[in-house]
Each structure stands twice: as structure tokens, then as C-alpha cells.
């Protein structure tokens, strides 16, 4: 855990605490409360232009900016890892504009902002997981018009989604959706979990933490309050299933985590490593050893100033 | 070992930004360009950045052009990200373009109209031959253009006033006294009112609107437009401070306005008359204002009972995709890592391929 020093005379200090002005934060908090009150419902909000491009986490950043305070401990991951460039960039942004402590430790964080993953370690009450969402509308791939999809949600008319899954089965013999796999929230709203792998879907059900989803470009906020029922769509004869690997993590030997594939050469050699970098590091610290323990990926080059 | 790279971190980002600053500056033996030079000599770039950045400030826009190394959508993004943090102390009174100090005003509908045709500073009728004199250093500033013998008409009547005595041209009516829709504070909603639509088009990407307008002209949702009037010039901006209760002039802005005329066959209730499409942009932005006017008119197809079958007539299609800050961000976010999702896809495709192979080679499988 590292605490940011007093802000020097940099551009950031000329902005309000946590970048957004207080009226904007209030507007976003109202949208969050509405989203929490109607789990899975996409609440429109007056999304602002942010100093990072749309598609790079503007929704997640606005949610974090609206709820963060100086006592928070902030973690930011992309693809499960703390050291991916965009995660580093966003973490640095909040360390500067919100004077907040940052961490890579999942258990220590009060706010975790994520893109494309839910940490392997179960979340606890009091934590908030903030998702960056590119396309909040689960039905968008089936119906391009917002006016239509809003009506479909209002009438709970989700037949089209089931037909699409059925067509998958008839074409491929299985449900071919892999990431952004649609879920039903409290048996009322169909919701996109953002492009997390379906491996992470079961983690949303009955979770102790607050799950907030922010789509900046599409200007929508939605939420899953603690202990909410979240069911991945399936059929009785084709039950929902998550990804499994024949390999274990090459570094820590984990058998039950989501793995990234790392291409080692052009002769087809590859290794599989945990996508959740903190989870993997923690397991290695506890003495777990994988078949390629000691590979350079386990010890990224130390960087100056970190 | 060849392809394993260390994951990027803070140091890599800092170094990349330093390199970017170096590239922006270019050859240090060549004199650095000043913000004032951009403001004065690349004024049309500045105009576009102000228009699509939704912020009228020539110095800020010039700074953004410099910082972006001439990449205008990037400069527009810089201005947008700055303006969104500015406090709002109120809204101005509507500007009155009839009281514009006109520098250019032309109509393609009439040979002569009240106020006259004023060509003004324009690329029109220039021959597009590279002028190599501009490449020579130290040339004297151009001679000032000669003044007209007669002072310009003021106020300059708009095209609407030409038709004032006949009901040939529809009257623009304000839908109500409500504050206009503001896309910078509220998300897009449909069906969009004309205020929301015009704001979205005014902030919209010039290239996107140009192509839509062109597609309409080529028959994909034609409105048979005719350029009723284009005017360019300065208008006063008035504001009513609460403690005064009457309007005071707080500055002036340069605007380009376009009134596009289209036919309307009439209906059971309404006699045939001409309808309008409206375009308005900060600065000297004729391509933008004309495109905007054509697209505005095409999107009014519901009011005039035209069928919807072309992209330019589709409100959700046009308004959701016209903003280049949104579009550029989302297209370019594909540069961000997607390996978690790609791994999920890879795994599925490998599995489907294995199943496919097994279906085609049942005996071989049994033999193994």
C-alpha cells in the first residue's frame, strides 16, 4: 500500500477533489441509488467528458470519482492484472486527484475498479466493485435500436435472447457465448455483466459486495446490491457451464483460476498463467509452485520510482 | 523466448509521453510555432475545434491544436475534457443572426435579395493551385482588400423575411419556453426534439455529417435541398444577470449560419410550401453548417410524412454516431488489452474445431 504525497503544483490540483465537481458527483450518486433500488435496470445519467477517451473506462472512472473519499483504498485492474497499462494510468489518476491510498491487495481495497474480470478472491461486505462497461445493453447485438430495447426491458420481453441461445445450440451444439454472457437479475432484468468471461458470472450471485457498472459513452449506470440473485441464462437440457482448462497456472499451479495464454515462441509453445496477478502472486508467496515457477513473468522487471 | 514482453507500467507510460512531446516539437532547429500564430494563421482549424469542442475560446482551441500536433479530433477532445469542468453561471439570450455584422452572405435561391449578395472571404472560385510564394519566408503581408463604396446593410434581412408576405416558407416556431435540451448534462433520449438534434449536429463530426449530407444528395433519403442563405459574421452575445434584470452585452462570437430550403408537397391539412433545414456553427465553418442543415431537414421526415429508408433519415443512427469524441474513443479502445475475452474465444473455437474434426473422422477416433 502506498500513500500519495502532497500534491505538487501540477495541473491536477486545479481541479476539484476527485476531478468531478460536486454537483456532478451528486447527480451520479442519485443515479447509483436508483440503480441499486432497481437491480439490473440501466439508469440513464448525464455522463461527462473525462480526461481519458470513451471506451477507456470513463463510466468506471465517473462511478469511482462519485463515491471515493480520502479514507478509501483503491485498486484498479484490467484483464485481472494490476500492472496493465490502462490500469496503471487510472490508478495513478486517482492517486493524484483524490489523494487516495492505492493497493494491489484485493482484500485490502475498499474500491476495486475493473475491466473484464472479477477478482478470484471472494469480495466482502463493505467493498465496492466498479465495472467499466463498453455496451450496457445486453440486447444490443440482437436489436440495434435503443427505443426498441428499452421497451423490451419494460415488458420483460426476452424471448429474442433465448432464441439466440437456442440458435447457438443448433449451430454449434452448445451455447457459444464466452464473455459478456447475459444474466437475469432477481428474475426481472436481463443484464450484461460487461465483457467478463462467463467463468466469472457465478461470482456475481449472492455476492457480499456492491457491484456497480458504469458505461460513460452510452451514459448508463446499473448495479447489483449485496446478496442479489444473479442467474446466467441457460436451458434445462443445456445447463450453464464455465470455462475449464486442462492446464494449471504455470507459475503458481492454481487449478481453479482463469488463465491467460502466453505465446512463448513461433513453434507453438505457450504457457498458461493466472489472469488475476494479485491472486497468483499471493499463492506463490504462500509456497504454491507451478511447472514453470521462476519464469520471468513471475518477476516483472522492477521499475524505477515504484 | 522471442515474444514474451514485460507488461507495461508507469515508467513505460511516462517515457511514451516524453517521446510524444519530442515528436510534437519536431526538429528543434526549426522555430517553435506559437499559439498566437495558430490562432491567427490556422484560424479555420481553430474554428472547427471550437465548433465540435462546444467551447468558444480561440486561445484555448489554438493551444489544443498545438498540443494535439494538428490532430483536430484530438484537439476537440482536449477542449471537451476542459469545458466539462467549467462552472456554469447561466445561459445567454438567444443570439439574433439578423443583427449579425455580416462578412459574407450569399443566397443561391435568388439572383438578388434584400441586403445583396456579399461574397466575403471564401475559397469559392479560387483555383486550387499551390501558391509557392507562401513557401518563401519573409514575404510582406498581403495588401488589405478594398473597401466597398456603400456600407453594408444592417440589420441584414434573413431569407425568412423575403417570404414574409407570402406563406411560401414555413415559420420556425419555438416548441415552448422550456430551457433547451442540453446533451452535456443529459443523456440522449428518443424521440429527439429539434433542440436536442441541432445540438448533437452542431457538436457532430464534420466529416460524418458531410458524408451523410452527400448520401442524401445522391438519393439515399433526398431532401432536394437548395441553399436559401449562408451568412458569416459576428453576433453579440447578451446575458441577463439576476441582479440587473435586463440584458447586457458580454461579448461577440463568429458564427456561420445556413438556411437550406426543401420542397413539401403539402397534406390534407397543409398547403404546399417550402420547409427548412438549419445549420449553425462557431467560426467560419460553411461545409459543416451546410451539411448540418441538410441532415437536420432529412431527420424531419416524420413531420413531413416522408418514408424512412435511408441512414440520414434515421434519428438513432445519425445522433448516436455523430460525436467524434465518442466514436474515436470507442474505436480506438480496441488497442486496450482484450486477452481475457480473446482467451475465452480461443478456447471455444479450439473446442468447436475438435468437435468438428471428431464428427468428420468418427472411425479414426474409434481406432485411437
SS3 per residue for chain A: CECCCCCCCCHHHHCECCECCHHHHHHHHHHHHHHHHCCCCCEECCCCCCCCCCCCCHHHHHHHHHHCCCCCEEEEEECCECCCHHHHHHHHHHHHHCCCEECCCCCCCCEEEEECCCCCCCCCCCCEEEEECCCCCCCCCCCCCHHHHHHHHHCCCCHHHHHHHHHHHHHHCCCCCCECCCEEECCCEEECCCCCEHHHHHHHCCCCCEEEEEECCCCEEEEECCCCCEEECCECCECCCCCCCCCCCCCCCCCCCCEEEEECCCCCCEEEEECCHHHHHHHHHCCCCCCCCCCHHHCCCCCCCC
Residue A9 has pLDDT above 80, yes or no: no
Contact A300 B6 (CB under 8 A): yes
Q: What is the β-pairing status of strands A270-274 and A259-263?
A: antiparallel
What is the per-residue pLDDT across B212-228, written as a single tens digit (0 to 9) for each? 999 999 989 988 899 99
Closest CA to A64 of A134, A127, A137, A138: A127
Q: Comparing B86-90, B181-185, B355-359, which segment has the lowest mean pLDDT?
A: B86-90
Contact B7 A81 (CB under 8 A): yes
Whether the CB of B88 is below 8 Å from some CB of chain A: the reply is: no
Q: Comparing A173-182, B28-37, B313-322, B355-364, which segment has the lowest mean pLDDT?
A: B355-364
Long-range Cβ contacts of B312-318 (<8 Å, 24+ apart): B312/B212, B312/B213, B312/B215, B312/B216, B312/B220, B312/B221, B313/B221, B315/B190, B315/B191, B315/B192, B315/B197, B316/A144, B316/A145, B316/A146, B316/A147, B316/B190, B318/B212
Whether the CB of A78 is below 8 Å from some CB of chain B: the reply is: yes
Q: Please tell me the predicted confidence (pLDDT) of residue B236.
A: 97
- Please give the Cα distance from A245 to B247 (Å, whole number): 71
Peptide bond into B191 cis (omega under 30): yes
Q: What is the mean pLDDT of the segment spanning B4-23?
A: 78
Q: Which residue of A has its CA nearest to B82?
A: A51
Q: Please tell me the predicted confidence (pLDDT) of residue B4.
A: 35
Query: How many angstroms away from the CA of A139 is the closest CA of chain B?
Result: 16
Q: Which residue of B has its CA nearest to A272?
A: B343
Q: Which residues of A are catalytic?
A: 40, 249, 252, 274, 280
Residue A305 has pLDDT above 50, yes or no: no
Q: Comparing A113-127, A212-226, B51-65, B132-146, which segment has the lowest mean pLDDT?
A: B132-146
Share of chain A above pLDDT 70, in %: 93
What is the per-residue pLDDT across B170-196, written as a single tens digit (0 to 9) for each? 887 776 667 889 999 999 999 999 999
Pick from A79, A136, A203, A265 the residue to mutate for testing the B interface (most B CBs within 10 Å).
A79
Contact B348 A178 (CB under 8 A): yes
Residue A5 has pLDDT above 60, yes or no: no
Nearest to B348 among A51, A176, A264 (CB): A176
- With 0-12 / 13-18 / 19 or more C-beta atoms within 10 angstroms meaning exposed / middle / buried, residue B319 is buried
Q: What is the mean pLDDT of the segment spanning B124-132?
A: 90
Q: Which residue of B has its CA nearest to A262?
A: B4
**Contact B204/B296 with Cβ under 8 angstroms?**
no
Query: How many angstroms away from the CA of A286 is the closest CA of chain B?
Result: 23
Q: Please tell me the predicted confidence (pLDDT) of residue A235.
A: 95
Q: Which residue of B has its CA nearest to A199?
A: B344
- Banded model confidence at residue A300, pLDDT cuts 50, 70, 90: low
Q: Please tell me the predicted confidence (pLDDT) of residue B366.
A: 52
- Banded model confidence at residue B364, pLDDT cuts 50, 70, 90: low
- Please give the Cα distance from B217 to B204 (Å, whole number): 19
Q: Please tell me the predicted confidence (pLDDT) of residue B263.
A: 81
Whether the CB of A172 is below 8 Å from some CB of chain B: the reply is: yes
Helix ranges restricted to H, B155-222: 159-162, 194-203, 206-217
Contact B340 A259 (CB under 8 A): no
Contact A197 B343 (CB under 8 A): yes
What is the per-residue pLDDT across B38-47, written as a single tens digit (0 to 9) for each? 999 999 999 9
- Which backbone phi and psi does A232 adopt, to 5 degrees? -75, 135
**Contact B51/B199 with Cβ under 8 angstroms?**
no
**CA angle, A249 as apex, A245 and A252 as ends, to 5°?**
150
- Please give the Cα distance from B151 to B320 (Å, whole number): 45
Q: Please tell me the predicted confidence (pLDDT) of residue A13.
A: 59
- Please give the Cα distance from B200 to A261 (Å, whole number): 43
What is the per-residue pLDDT across A149-192, written as a single tens digit (0 to 9) for each? 999 999 999 999 999 999 999 988 888 888 999 999 999 999 99
Q: What is the mean pLDDT of the segment spanning B82-95?
A: 89
Residue A6 has pLDDT above 70, yes or no: no
ipTM of the complex: 0.82
Residue B296 has pLDDT above 90, yes or no: yes
Whether the CB of B344 is below 8 Å from some CB of chain A: the reply is: yes
Residue A306 has pLDDT above 50, yes or no: no
Contacts of B10 (CB under 8 A, 6+ apart): A88, A92, A303, A305, A306
- Please give the Cα distance from B346 to B215 (Å, whole number): 39
- Banded model confidence at residue B8, pLDDT cuts 50, 70, 90: low
Contact B333 A55 (CB under 8 A): yes
- Banded model confidence at residue A11, pLDDT cuts 50, 70, 90: low
Q: What is the mean pLDDT of the segment spanning B329-344?
A: 92
Query: How many angstroms away from the CA of B282 is the closest CA of chain A?
Result: 20
**Contact B236/B99 with Cβ under 8 angstroms?**
yes
Q: If you average pLDDT over each of A291-295, B207-211, B238-242, which comes out highest? A: B207-211
- Banded model confidence at residue B264, pLDDT cuts 50, 70, 90: confident
Amino acid at each position: 500500500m502506498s500513500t500519495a504525497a502532497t500534491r505538487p503544483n501540477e495541473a491536477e490540483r486545479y481541479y476539484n477533489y476527485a476531478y468531478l465537481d460536486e454537483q456532478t458527483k451528486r447527480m451520479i450518486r442519485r443515479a447509483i441509488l436508483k440503480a441499486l433500488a432497481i437491480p439490473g435496470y440501466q439508469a440513464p445519467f448525464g455522463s461527462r467528458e473525462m480526461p481519458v477517451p470513451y471506451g477507456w473506462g470513463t463510466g468506471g472512472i465517473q462511478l469511482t470519482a462519485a463515491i471515493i473519499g480520502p479514507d478509501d483504498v483503491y485498486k484498479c485492474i484490467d484483464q485481472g492484472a494490476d500492472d496493465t497499462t490502462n490500469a496503471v494510468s487510472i490508478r495513478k489518476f486517482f492517486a493524484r486527484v483524490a489523494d487516495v491510498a492505492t493497493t494491489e491487495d484485493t482484500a485490502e481495497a475498499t474500491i476495486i475498479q475493473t475491466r473484464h474480470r472479477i477478482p478470484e478472491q471472494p469480495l466482502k461486505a463493505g467493498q465496492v466493485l466498479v465495472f467499466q462497461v463498453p455496451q450496457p445493453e445486453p440486447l444490443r447485438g440482437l436489436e440495434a435500436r435503443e427505443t426498441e430495447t428499452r421497451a423490451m426491458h419494460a415488458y420483460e420481453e426476452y424471448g429474442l435472447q433465448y432464441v439466440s441461445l437456442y440458435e447457438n445450440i443448433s449451430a454449434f451444439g452448445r451455447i457459444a457465448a464466452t464473455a459478456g454472457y447475459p444474466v437475469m437479475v432477481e428474475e426481472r432484468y436481463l443484464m450484461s455483466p460487461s465483457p467478463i468471461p462467463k467463468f466469472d458470472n457465478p461470482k456475481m450471485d449472492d455476492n457480499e459486495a456492491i457491484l456497480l457498472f458504469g458505461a460513460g459513452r452510452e451514459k448508463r449506470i446499473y448495479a447489483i446490491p449485496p446478496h442479489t440473485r444473479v442467474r446466467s441464462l441457460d436451458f434445462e437440457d443445456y445447463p450453464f457451464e464455465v470455462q475449464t482448462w486442462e492446464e494449471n497456472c504455470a507459475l503458481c499451479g492454481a487449478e481453479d483460476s482463469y488463465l491467460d495464454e502466453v505465446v512463448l515462441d513461433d513453434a507453438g509453445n505457450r504457457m498458461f498463467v493466472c489472469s488475476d496477478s494479485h491472486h497468483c502472486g499471493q499463492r506463490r508467496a504462500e509456497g504454491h509452485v507451478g511447472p514453470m515457477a521462476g519464469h520471468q513473468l513471475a518477476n516483472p522487471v522492477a521499475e524505477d520510482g515504484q | 523466448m522471442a515474444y514474451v514482453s514485460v507488461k507495461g507500467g508507469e515508467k513505460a507510460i511516462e517515457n511514451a509521453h516524453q517521446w510524444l512531446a519530442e515528436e510534437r516539437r519536431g526538429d528543434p532547429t526549426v522555430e517553435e510555432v506559437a499559439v498566437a500564430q495558430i490562432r491567427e494563421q490556422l484560424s479555420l482549424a481553430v474554428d472547427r475545434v471550437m465548433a465540435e469542442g462546444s467551447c468558444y475560446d480561440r486561445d484555448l482551441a489554438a493551444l489544443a491544436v498545438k498540443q494535439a500536433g494538428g490532430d483536430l479530433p484530438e484537439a476537440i477532445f482536449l477542449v471537451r475534457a476542459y469545458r466539462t469542468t467549467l462552472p456554469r453561471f447561466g445561459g445567454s439570450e438567444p443570439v439574433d443572426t439578423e443583427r449579425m455584422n455580416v462578412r459574407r452572405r450569399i443566397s443561391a435561391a435568388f439572383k438578388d435579395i434584400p441586403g445583396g449578395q456579399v461574397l466575403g472571404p471564401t475559397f469559392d472560385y479560387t483555383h486550387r493551385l499551390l501558391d509557392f510564394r507562401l513557401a518563401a519566408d519573409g514575404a510582406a503581408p498581403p495588401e488589405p482588400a478594398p473597401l466597398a463604396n456603400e456600407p453594408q446593410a444592417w440589420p441584414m434581412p434573413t431569407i425568412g423575411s423575403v417570404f414574409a408576405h407570402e406563406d411560401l416558407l414555413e415559420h420556425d416556431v419555438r416548441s415552448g419556453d422550456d430551457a433547451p435540451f442540453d446533451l452535456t448534462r443529459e443523456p440522449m433520449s428518443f424521440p429527439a426534439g429539434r433542440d436536442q438534434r441541432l445540438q448533437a449536429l452542431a457538436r457532430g463530426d464534420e466529416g460524418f455529417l458531410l458524408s451523410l449530407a452527400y448520401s442524401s444528395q445522391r438519393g439515399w433519403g433526398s431532401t432536394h435541398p437548395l441553399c436559401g442563405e449562408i451568412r458569416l459574421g459576428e453576433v453579440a452575445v447578451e446575458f441577463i444577470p439576476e441582479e440587473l434584470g435586463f440584458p447586457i452585452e458580454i461579448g461577440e462570437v463568429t458564427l456561420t449560419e445556413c438556411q437550406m430550403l426543401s420542397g413539401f408537397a403539402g397534406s390534407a391539412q397543409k398547403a404546399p410550401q417550402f420547409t427548412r433545414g438549419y445549420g449553425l456553427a462557431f467560426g467560419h465553418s460553411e461545409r459543416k453548417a451546410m451539411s448540418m442543415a441538410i441532415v437536420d431537414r432529412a431527420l424531419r421526415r416524420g413531420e413531413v410524412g416522408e418514408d424512412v429508408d435511408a441512414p440520414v433519415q434515421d434519428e438513432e443512427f445519425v445522433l448516436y454516431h455523430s460525436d467524434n469524441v465518442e466514436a474515436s474513443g470507442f474505436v480506438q479502445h480496441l488497442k486496450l488489452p482484450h486477452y481475457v475475452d480473446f482467451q475465452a474465444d480461443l478456447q471455444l473455437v479450439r473446442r468447436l474445431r475438435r468437435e468438428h474434426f471428431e464428427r468428420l473422422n468418427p472411425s479414426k477416433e474409434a481406432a485411437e
